[in-house]
Homo-oligomer: A and B are copies of this chain.
Amino acid sequence: MNVNWNEITHVTKVDPAEPLPSDLEVLSGTDLVIVGGSDGVTEANTLETIRTVDAAIPETPIFQEPYRSSHVSKATVEAADRLSIAAVYNGDRSHFVGKHVDLFTEVGRKPDELLGSGLPVVGDLIASKGVDAVAELADSLLGEGYVVQHLDSAAAARAGVESTYTPEEVAGAALATEAFYGFPVFYIEYSGTYGGPTDVEAAARYLEETTLFYGGGIDSREKATEILEAGADAIVVGDCFHDDPETFRETIPDP
């Protein structure tokens, strides 16, 4: 499925380890679903979540955002529209570059295994098949440049974030994304708390080709509007999707 970034204003983050709401009709106004999490997440519950959501809203793109490569399989890659991978600017070396090179080294080393092709091929055929499989995977990959701005969050702990960025540094990371790393998404993550419009305003100034996501603590129409008016292309709503469908519905802008 083609992803039309210009049409994405509301994103729902779905944690495969959490129960889905009984009525998925609530998703009908969202523009993109991102499936991912860490504690309790497996390849199996990821795949089941992607398939259930896809059955409910088949026209809406779904990304898998894996935290471990063990959450990814040929089945999840085929079920999701993209494999989105976070690179955390203010995290440790591993979470910006180290684990990505490890992942790609692993992909390059055993592309057939990773993509589930068990054909008994040898020599040049393995080589060409392998490269094709890798190219297929590469096409579905999408990088997200993250800034994690809530120190007391699981996301910060996981990515080795020891300090948050000032608004000027957020702007610098946004500019680095736009002009240097070229990730299609720049993501300001306040994970569980509401960060307000300041960082969004700082980043939005420098983003033209890059899509700006803001996530964290959005639990009302007012907050959703404030962040979008500050220049975010889309708000990402997670917690209340699982907990409180009525509040979730309020965060979806009118069409």
Partner of A171, one of B87, B92, B105, B176: B105
Whether A141 pairs with B109 at a CB distance below 8 angstroms is no
Taking the complex as formed, is A100 at the interface, i.e. its CB lies under 8 A from any CB of chain B? yes
Give chain A's interface residue range (CB within 8 Å of chain B): 35 or more
Assuming the contacts A97-B96, A127-B205, asked whether A179 and B141 have C-beta atoms less than 8 A apart, the reply is yes
Neighbouring B residues of A87 by C-beta, 8 Å: 180
Copies of this chain per assembly = 2
Taking the complex as formed, is A159 at the interface, i.e. its CB lies under 8 A from any CB of chain B? no
Q: Report how far A74 CA is from B81 CA in the complex, Å.
A: 43
Whether B134 pairs with A175 at a CB distance below 8 angstroms is yes
Q: How far is the CB of A162 from chain B (nearest CB, A)?
A: 11
Q: How far is the CB of A99 from chain B (nearest CB, A)?
A: 10
Whether B206 pairs with A168 at a CB distance below 8 angstroms is no
Shortest beta-carbon contacts, A-B, top 10 = A105-B172, A138-B179, A93-B93, A182-B182, A104-B172, A104-B175, A104-B176, A108-B171, A96-B97, A143-B180
